[in-house]
């Protein structure tokens, strides 16, 4: 190995994350990138702790093991990209496995190195039509959710000839579950809900006013989830606010390495979120990846942007928010019915927020409710699972989750991420994913 064998095995200090130097000229220098990839691949080859997390590490280790030298120096540099293409930036390796993350002197941040490589590739070659389409969530959503168009799109996506055509022309796997579109958006539904007069009660860490960033997926693909979330918040006397409009949080563009597109989206969303913060609102979103974008990724991309840092501090996972309020008796504990056994898949982007299983903690406040945690990657990971070349890998990653859900023999199955829930459901012989918000609303009988 290129590194000193006497270096400490793992750091004892709390991990820190360095900002992403994406505005430095060296960031896009291919030679500098390759030399950093070689250094980190070499450390990973000597460690191999992450072999079971995703397909990036098995790809790397196979390349090394099948090379002439059986070391990283035997791997052709053009094959480095095969590893990069298998990373979907879930962050699990950094946050749950790696002992060499900063402040360790080896300074391994595997996901951010993959992100840098994706950004270099995007800068050099741009994106394919398929990848541009899959990450243009605002544009696709605004067209596909027009009344009548939504029904046509949803029905067409179930037709085998249409799916075969999509696979042949765009590379979207014919069997991958695709999101359904709704012409009645979450924004419309929330605006129609009774505003009510809320007597706001702040707690030590919450203002009791919560701005909901609807998210493009929540707004047009999972509006019922958002409607249920808002109903629960209002039931618990939280004053709910919305931005006047919003764009995608930027996570799909981040996963593509299109960092300039992320910046444009940030420039459109942050001022609107800041308006809410200035009016005394905390912030949340119904999808863990979008929460993570505001809590972690944007602050690391824009460390000197005060508004980005302010928004990050104001952002909460929705169940984290409910638990914080519960600590000060601001959560209604009068439930109309129990939920029985619940199998709960924890998405990677919720786990890496390091807040603990808040969804489970809230649901278990409902009497006679037992929640089984399933902490494994579903393999959905943004757009990864729908791509023709990744679908089989995604299914393999998802299989242990499917069997854990089936073994749980629960009354309900939930995931905090509706997309992960759909992929897990797709692998199950029977049963349907629901959302934790829908279950909690049912428990309240509201």
Positions in the binding site for ligand SF4 (CB under 6 A):
43-44, 47-50, 53-54, 56-57, 87-93, 97-98, 100, 108, 110-111, 114
Q: How far is the CB of 296 from ligand SF4 (least distance, A)?
A: 13
Q: How far is the CB of 377 from ligand SF4 (least distance, A)?
A: 7
Is 357 in contact with 320 (CB distance < 8 Å)? no
Q: Which two structure tokens, joined as six digits, stand for 215?
A: 């998210």
Q: Closer CB to ligand SF4, residue 273 or residue 397? A: 397
Q: In what order do the strands lie in the sheet with 239-242?
A: 239-242, 209-212, 282-284, 315-316
Three-class SS state of 166: helix
E-only strand ranges, 168-215: 209-212
What's the chain's Rg over C-alpha atoms? 22
Q: How far is the CB of 96 from ligand SF4 (least distance, A)?
A: 9
Q: Which two structure tokens, joined as six digits, stand for 74?
A: 């035997």
Q: Closer CB to ligand SF4, residue 93 or residue 398? A: 93
Q: How far is the CB of 218 from ligand SF4 (least distance, A)?
A: 23
Q: Closer CB to ligand SF4, residue 1 or residue 139? A: 1
CA 248 to mean position of chain CA atoms:
13
Is 73 in contact with 39 (CB distance < 8 Å)? no
Q: How far is the CB of 52 from ligand SF4 (least distance, A)?
A: 10
Query: Within a 13 Å sphere around the CA of 185, how many CA atoms are in the beta-carbon half?
Result: 18
Q: How far is the CB of 108 from ligand SF4 (least distance, A)?
A: 5
Annotate 245-288 with DSSP letters as a single string: -----SHHHHHHT-HHHHHHHHHHHHHHHHHHHHTT-EEE-SSH
Q: How far is the CB of 87 from ligand SF4 (least distance, A)?
A: 3
Q: How far is the CB of 1 from ligand SF4 (least distance, A)?
A: 11
Q: Closer CB to ligand SF4, residue 311 or residue 401? A: 401
What is the spatial distance between Cα 90 and Cα 351, in angstroms, rounded to a whole number? 10
Q: Closer CB to ligand SF4, residue 47 or residue 261? A: 47
Q: Closer CB to ligand SF4, residue 229 or residue 301? A: 301
Q: Closer CB to ligand SF4, residue 134 or residue 276? A: 134
- Alpha-carbon torsion angle 419, 222, 411, 230, nearest 10: 130
Q: Closer CB to ligand SF4, residue 187 or residue 351? A: 351
Is 424 in contact with 433 (CB distance < 8 Å)? yes
What is the spatial distance between Cα 272 and Cα 241, in angstroms, rounded to a whole number? 12
What is the spatial distance between Cα 37 and Cα 110, in angstroms, rounded to a whole number? 9
């Amino acid at each position: 190995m290129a590194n000193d064998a006497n270096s400490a095995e793992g750091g004892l200090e709390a991990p820190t994350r360095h900002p992403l130097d994406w505005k430095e000229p060296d960031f896009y220098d291919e030679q500098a990138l390759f030399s950093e990839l070689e250094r980190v691949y070499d450390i990973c080859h000597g460690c191999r702790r992450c072999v079971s997390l995703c397909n990036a590490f098995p790809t790397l280790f196979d390349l090394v093991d099948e090379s002439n030298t059986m070391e990283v120096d035997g791997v052709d540099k053009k094959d480095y990209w095969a590893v990069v293409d298998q990373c979907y930036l879930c962050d699990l390796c950094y946050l749950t496995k790696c002992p060499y993350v900063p402040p360790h002197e080896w300074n391994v941040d595997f996901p951010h190195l993959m992100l840098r490589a994706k950004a270099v590739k995007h800068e050099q070659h741009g994106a394919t039509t398929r990848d541009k389409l899959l990450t243009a969530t605002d544009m696709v959503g605004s067209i596909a959710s027009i009344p009548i168009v939504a029904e046509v799109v949803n029905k067409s996506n179930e037709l085998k000839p249409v799916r075969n055509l999509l696979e042949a022309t765009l590379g979207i796997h014919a069997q991958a579950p695709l999101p359904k579109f709704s012409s009645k958006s979450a924004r419309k539904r929330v605006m129609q809900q009774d505003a009510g007069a809320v007597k706001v009660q702040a707690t030590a860490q919450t203002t009791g006013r919560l701005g909901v960033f609807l998210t493009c997926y929540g707004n047009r693909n999972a509006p019922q989830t958002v409607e249920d979330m808002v109903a629960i918040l209002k039931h618990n006397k939280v004053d709910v606010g919305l931005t006047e409009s919003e764009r995608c949080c930027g996570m799909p563009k981040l996963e593509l390495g299109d960092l300039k597109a992320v910046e444009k989206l940030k420039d459109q969303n942050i001022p609107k979120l800041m308006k809410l913060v200035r009016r005394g609102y905390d912030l949340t979103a119904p999808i863990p990846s979008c929460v993570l974008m505001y809590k972690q990724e944007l602050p690391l991309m824009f460390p000197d942007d005060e508004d980005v840092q302010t928004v990050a501090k104001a952002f909460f996972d929705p169940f984290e928010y409910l638990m914080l309020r519960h600590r000060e008796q601001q959560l209604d504990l009068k439930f109309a019915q129990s939920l029985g056994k619940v199998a709960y898949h924890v998405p990677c982007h919720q786990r890496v927020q390091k807040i603990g299983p808040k969804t489970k903690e809230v649901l278990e406040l409902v009497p006679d409710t037992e929640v089984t945690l399933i902490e494994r990657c579903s393999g959905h990971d943004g757009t990864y699972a729908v791509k023709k070349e990744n679908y089989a890998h995604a299914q393999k990653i998802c299989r242990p989750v499917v069997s854990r859900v089936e073994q749980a023999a629960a009354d309900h199955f939930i995931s905090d991420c509706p997309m992960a829930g759909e992929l897990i459901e797709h692998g199950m012989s029977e049963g349907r994913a629901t959302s934790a918000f829908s279950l909690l609303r049912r428990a309240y009988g509201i």
